Structure 1
Amino acid sequence: MRNGIITRKNPANMPGPVGNYTHITKIPRNAELFVTSGQIGINQDGQFPESMNEQISNTFQNINKVLESEELTAANIIKVNIWATEEIDWEHMDFEWEKLFHTEYPAMTIGYLSALGLPEIKVELEVWAAKP
């Protein structure tokens, strides 16, 4: 429990996570809930890099900006949904993931799709967060 309201655990009666996530993330009833739209790898100039890894890096930068706009940090994130149109370089994704989360991993879902909202988008992350 990093910020006093969010608890994360992996039940002992089931297999552990196969990646950097937690099986259960719990918030109290009185917490304020924030749900972002899917954040994408667009840069500040409105351009999409061609490389998946550059889009991943930009996506995490955009997530940080959204969090900061509401005075939230990674400690407030309770759930991340990841959607990608091509295979993810997990070494790069883990590098960006751990820069944001350190060792306080939220619940997570990932899916591969044939396309996202625009042909240029290769990855999209939706973030759920909570604070008192």
Structure 2
Amino acid sequence: MIERWNPETVAAPIGPYSHLVRVPADHELVVVSGQVGMLPDGELAGPDAESQTRALLANLERLLEAAGAGPEHLVKIFSMLSGTEHLDGFRTATRETFSRWYPEADWPAQSLIVVAALARPELVVEVEALVAAPKLVS
């Protein structure tokens, strides 16, 4: 089982994340490239961070499934927003999804940065992830 914890020797996390995550030997690392708020048909989910975040988290869930994993196997999430004005929408969508994924508040490690821009001007949020997927038995 993936272990997540917050030692008492440092301040508590300032958001929904764990300071430390340990991956057991019977798992393998899967790297998820930056996901943006595109729908399966290739259309952008919307112009705002909330709709784009909802879409990219749905994409992430589908990618986890394709890797034989689920949200409980996320080790680290790295989020990028193209401006502080997108923080509220991003946090709203993330909070709703994390409430479903982690009802016991056993969150993965996370980082969030605000950047000047992403790869295309209409993109306002992008998320990368590290996953500890259970090893497949041959």
Judge same fold: TM > 0.5, yes or no: yes
Structure 1 vs Structure 2: percent identity of aligned residues?
A: 27
Q: Specify the code of the residue in structure 2 equivalent to 1:44.
A: P
Matches within 5 A, 1:66-77: 66-77=63-74
CA distance 1:124–1:101, change in 2 (3 Å): farther
Structure 2 counterpart of 1:84:
81
CA root-mean-square deviation: 1.4
Q: Is the 8 A contact 2:72 2:101 kept in 1?
A: no
Q: How far apart, in 1, do the equivalents of 2:25 and 2:133 lie?
A: 11
1:64 equivalent among 50, 61, 66: 61
Q: Specify the code of the residue in structure 2 equivalent to 1:118.
A: R
Taking structure 2 as the reference length, the TM-score comes to: 0.86
Structure 1 counterpart of 2:115:
113
1:16 equivalent among 12, 18, 29: 12
3-state DSSP class of the match of 1:38? strand
Q: How far apart, in 1, do the equivalents of 2:68 and 2:24 lie?
A: 19
Q: Specify the code of the residue in structure 2 equivalent to 1:88.
A: L
Q: Unaligned stretches of 5+ in structure 2?
A: none
Q: Unaligned stretches of 5+ in structure 1?
A: none
Taking structure 1 as the reference length, the TM-score comes to: 0.89
Q: CA deviation at 1:9?
A: 0.7
3-state DSSP class of the match of 2:87? coil
3-state DSSP class of the match of 1:99? helix
3-state DSSP class of the match of 2:39? coil
Q: How far apart, in 2, do the equivalents of 1:38 and 1:105 lie?
A: 19
Structure 1 counterpart of 2:40:
44
Q: Is the 8 A contact 2:29 2:133 kept in 1?
A: yes
3-state DSSP class of the match of 1:88? helix
Structure 2 counterpart of 1:25:
21
